[in-house]
Amino acid sequence: MIIHPIPPVYDKDSRILILESFPSVKSREEGFFYGHPQNRFWKVVANVLGEEVPKTISEKKDFLLRNHIAVWDVIQSCDIEGSSDSSIRNVVANDLNVILNSADIEAIFVNGKTALKYYNKYTEPSVGRQAICLPSTSPANAAWNMERLVEAWKVIVSMRGANMLQTATRREC
């Protein structure tokens, strides 16, 4: 059983929550989200927001908070082989109320289908909020090039409230 080693990033001004399934081996080693050098998360979100790609953990935290984005993972602990999502077993979910009770989160996004699967199974029933699935920024998602990812991820800033949910849930992730 591996316990999630990275605390969530959020503050009272966070408006968007982005969730991955569980940190990769590289992220666990680095001690921060999306630590694999080929993961496109930081490049995609920086492009969407018109900012420079943050490099250090400190820059990444500042980037997220400045843009009112909270980041965490759906899974608090699990059995996993390496970074393989398909090997995930014995899931215990994170309690998102830690964030939801502290910030006025307008929308919850999941980064890929695996995060959506575990969110729908373990988290949505307890928080009563639907997540919007975005295509995974993982290097394993080779079907989505950088241009397509940026276009899909623009939804995190292009709409607000109910219109965001209605429009975004129609897109494929």
- Contact at 8 Å (CB) between 49 and 64? no
Q: Which two tokens stand for residue 173?
A: 């992730």
Q: State the Cα–Cα distance between residues 135 and 168, nearest whole angstrom.
A: 11
Is 3.40.470.10 the CATH classification of the domain at 2-168? yes
User: H or E stretch including 120?
Assistant: none
Asked if residue 171 has pLDDT above 90, the reply is no
On the question of pLDDT at 159 being above 70, the answer is no
What six digits make up the tokens of 8?
């969530």
Residue 120: what pLDDT?
Answer: 97
**Alpha-carbon separation of residue 123 from 22, 36, 57, 90, 144 (angstroms):** 14, 25, 27, 15, 27
Question: Is a pLDDT exceeding 90 seen at residue 1?
Answer: yes
For residue 161, pLDDT over 70 is answered with: no
- Sorted by where each begins, the domain ranges of the chain are 2-168
Q: What pLDDT does 136 receive?
A: 96
Give the pLDDT confidence score for residue 163 in this predicted structure.
Answer: 45
Q: How confident is the model at residue 173 (pLDDT cuts 50, 70, 90)?
A: confident
Tens of pLDDT, residues 44-93 = 999 999 999 999 999 999 999 999 999 999 999 999 998 888 899 999 99
Residue with tokens 């989160």: 105
pLDDT of residue 98: 95
Q: How far is CA 149 from CA 43, 87, 96, 119, 156, in A?
A: 10, 25, 26, 21, 12
What gap in Å lies between CA 45 and CA 68, rounded to an integer?
Answer: 12
pLDDT at 148: 96
Question: Do 127 and 100 touch, CB atoms closer than 8 A?
Answer: yes
Handedness of CA 114, 57, 82, 8 (dihedral sign): negative
* Residue range 111-151, pLDDT digits in tens: 999 999 999 999 999 999 999 999 999 988 999 999 999 99
Q: Higher confidence at residue 26 or residue 158? A: 26
Calpha distance 65→82 (Å, rounded): 30
